[in-house]
Amino acid sequence: MTAPFTPSEIWYLLSRIPKGCVVTYGQLANMAGAPGYARVVGNILKQLPAGTDLPWHRVINGKGQISFPDGSSRYNLQKLRLEQEGVNISYGKVNLKAHQWHGE
């Protein structure tokens, strides 16, 4: 827990992501003022309670892909939620140019 930011900071940033948009783990780290801490952001999302209201599904990796094994239940849930928000996913990848959120 020597990270330069706290889980609550990440939770706040998460709550700010507009519906229909996505951000990458590395982006959240940068927004928190901690370049290089992408994996740590992932650790924090991993610890979110199952029924959380935070839009964790709007976070994907830098390749525009969902960071869960293809076909796993979590993968399917994230994909479903994104598509319901109008995020286009083709060939397992999100069109970052079109949906990536760049800040307020």
Give every CB contact of residue 75 below 8 A, 6+ residues apart in sequence. Answer: 66, 68, 69
Q: Is 41 in the site for DNA (CB under 7 A)?
A: yes
Which of 21/61 has CB closer to DNA? 61
Single out the residue of 46, 71, 90, 104 in contact with DNA (rule: CB under 7 A).
46
Q: How far apart are the first and last CA of the chain?
A: 28
Pairing between β-strand 93-94 and β-strand 59-60 as defined by DSSP bridges: unpaired
Q: Is 37 in the site for DNA (CB under 7 A)?
A: yes
Which chain residues interact with DNA by CB under 7 A?
1-3, 24-27, 36-43, 45-46, 48, 56, 59, 61-63, 67-68
